[in-house]
């Protein structure tokens, strides 16, 4: 969406001009006067006891860390919340090799309907990170893959859960942060994992993987996130998400649905549930059980691969370091090659 359309929609509603600089284009030493989405808001204190706000602001292209120091915090801290669209005046600076925004003023957009979670006459497309891929196209690819599952009871269970949750499955991010943390991210990540598992099982039949079980597990491995998370525009953990988590929530969804079908082997539902609770791979990474089947191990590795590659791509896209390598990635604890290879 071009910036002009966004500004035209806003004109007459907000008493200031808009010229949106994408976060990926923001550089050190710039004056910033524009809108963002508040992804995170935390009130903290300095060592001397002065209050400050630690923020993560977002737009369509990524996120930027922001700080509001004592005077701005006292004046504006109560004028906006997480998940709201805000107008920010400030300046950028580099701190410890990372770009951050120093907030001089910040306030919510008055046309944002906080309680209903809807907007009137405001298109947030510039401000809400979303998948670059076509959501409806990805959904049809996922359903087509589901229709190939065997036995039929496994196919019916998987399709029923997908269709019952179609709207949120298309909209939700795959995580609050880290990987695929944008609208449509859950669907994009799920499709990547499912297609990877399916292709591997088909190309290596000698490994003895049960393709239907492995692919169904990959399609449903994160379905519990539909209960673990809330507010997809600015995702946060729900009450159930904090207490139980998506692995066990997804397992319970599968178990409940499995009771509606007749199974050629009564162990199918529990083998499927095992994939969901084991797909984090190790107990130290919050798996409820280490993978104990070939199918669960396969889903774990393709899930991890999809997540890591997305994290690398996101880090490279937002990196401003000169040269062939990125700045230090704190999560993956390394720098990544981002140079362009010469092609004949």
pLDDT tens per residue, range 170-195: 999 999 988 999 999 999 999 999 99
Helix (H, G, I), strand (E, B) or coil at 57: strand
Q: For the residues 262-277, what does the mean pLDDT come to? A: 98
Model's pTM, two decimal places? 0.83
Strand partners, 52: 44
Whether residue 282 contacts residue 276, with contact meaning beta carbons closer than 8 Å, is answered with no
In a domain, 333, yes or no: no
**Comparing 123 with 149, which gets the higher pLDDT?**
149
Distance CA 64, CA 23 (A): 7
Q: Does one domain contain both 260 and 139?
A: yes
Model pLDDT, residue 4: 37
Model pLDDT, residue 15: 40
In a domain, 327, yes or no: no
Q: Does one domain contain both 118 and 140?
A: no
In a domain, 120, yes or no: yes
pLDDT digits 0-9 by tens, 65-88? 999 999 999 999 999 998 889 999
In a domain, 339, yes or no: no
Would you place residue 111 in the very low, low, confident or very high pLDDT band (cuts 50, 70, 90)? low
Q: Residue 207 belongs to what domain range? A: 135-316
Q: Does one domain contain both 90 and 144?
A: no
Report how many domains make up the chain.
2
Enumerate long-range contacts of 5-9, CB under 8 Å, 24 or more apart: 5/123, 6/123, 6/125, 6/126, 9/121, 9/122, 9/123
Q: 77 vs 23, 33, 293, 296, CA distance in Å?
A: 22, 18, 50, 46
| C-beta neighbour count of 139 within 10 angstroms | 17
Helix axes of 152-164 and 211-220: crossing angle, nearest 10 degrees: 10
Q: Does one domain contain both 311 and 188?
A: yes
Model pLDDT, residue 123: 55
Q: Does one domain contain both 46 and 161?
A: no
Distance CA 288, CA 246 (A): 10
Those residues whose C-beta lies under 8 Å from the C-beta of residue 230, and which sit 6 or more positions away, are: 236, 237, 238, 241
Q: Does one domain contain both 194 and 302?
A: yes
pLDDT surpasses 80 at 265: yes
pLDDT digits 0-9 by tens, 193-238? 999 999 999 999 999 999 999 999 999 999 999 999 999 988 999 9
Distance CA 344, CA 325 (A): 23
- Write the CATH number for 18: 2.40.50.140
In a domain, 323, yes or no: no
Tell me, letter by letter, the H, E, C secondary structure of 162-179.
Answer: HHHCHHHHHHCCCCCCCC
- Write the CATH number for 227: 1.10.3210
Q: Does one domain contain both 268 and 145?
A: yes
pLDDT digits 0-9 by tens, 35-68? 999 989 999 999 999 999 999 999 988 889 999 9
Q: Does one domain contain both 214 and 246?
A: yes
**Comparing 24 with 296, which gets the higher pLDDT?**
296
């Amino acid at each position: 969406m071009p910036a002009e359309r966004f500004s035209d929609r806003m004109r007459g509603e907000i008493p200031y001009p808009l010229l949106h600089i994408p976060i990926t284009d923001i550089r050190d030493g710039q004056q910033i006067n524009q809108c963002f989405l508040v992804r995170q808001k935390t009130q903290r204190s300095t060592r001397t006891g002065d209050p400050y706000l630690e923020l993560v602001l977002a737009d369509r292209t990524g996120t930027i860390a922001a700080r509001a120091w004592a005077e701005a915090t006292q004046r504006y801290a109560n004028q906006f919340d997480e998940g709201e669209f805000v107008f920010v005046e400030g300046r950028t600076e580099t701190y410890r090799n990372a770009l951050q925004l120093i907030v001089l003023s910040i306030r919510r957009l008055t046309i944002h309907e906080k309680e209903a979670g809807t907007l009137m006459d405001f298109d947030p497309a510039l401000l809400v990170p979303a998948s670059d891929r076509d959501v409806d196209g990805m959904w049809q690819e996922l359903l087509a893959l589901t229709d190939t599952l065997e036995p039929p009871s496994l196919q019916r269970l998987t399709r029923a859960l997908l269709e019952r949750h179609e709207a949120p499955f298309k909209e939700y991010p795959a995580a609050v942060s880290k990987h695929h943390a944008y609208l449509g991210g859950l669907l994009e990540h799920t499709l990547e994992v499912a297609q990877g598992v399916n292709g591997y099982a088909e190309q290596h039949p000698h490994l003895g993987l049960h393709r239907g079980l492995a692919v169904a597990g990959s399609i449903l491995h994160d379905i519990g996130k539909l209960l673990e998370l809330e507010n997809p525009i600015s995702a946060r953990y729900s009450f159930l998400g904090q207490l139980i988590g998506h692995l066990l929530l997804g397992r319970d969804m599968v178990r409940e649905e499995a009771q509606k079908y007749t199974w050629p082997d009564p162990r199918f539902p529990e083998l499927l549930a095992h994939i969901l609770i084991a797909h984090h791979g190790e107990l130290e990474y919050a798996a409820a059980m280490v993978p104990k089947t070939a199918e669960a191990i396969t889903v774990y590795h393709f899930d991890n691969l999809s997540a890591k590659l997305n994290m690398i791509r996101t880090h490279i896209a937002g990196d401003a370091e000169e040269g062939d390598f990125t700045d230090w990635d704190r999560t993956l604890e390394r720098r990544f090659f981002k140079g362009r290879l010469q092609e004949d």
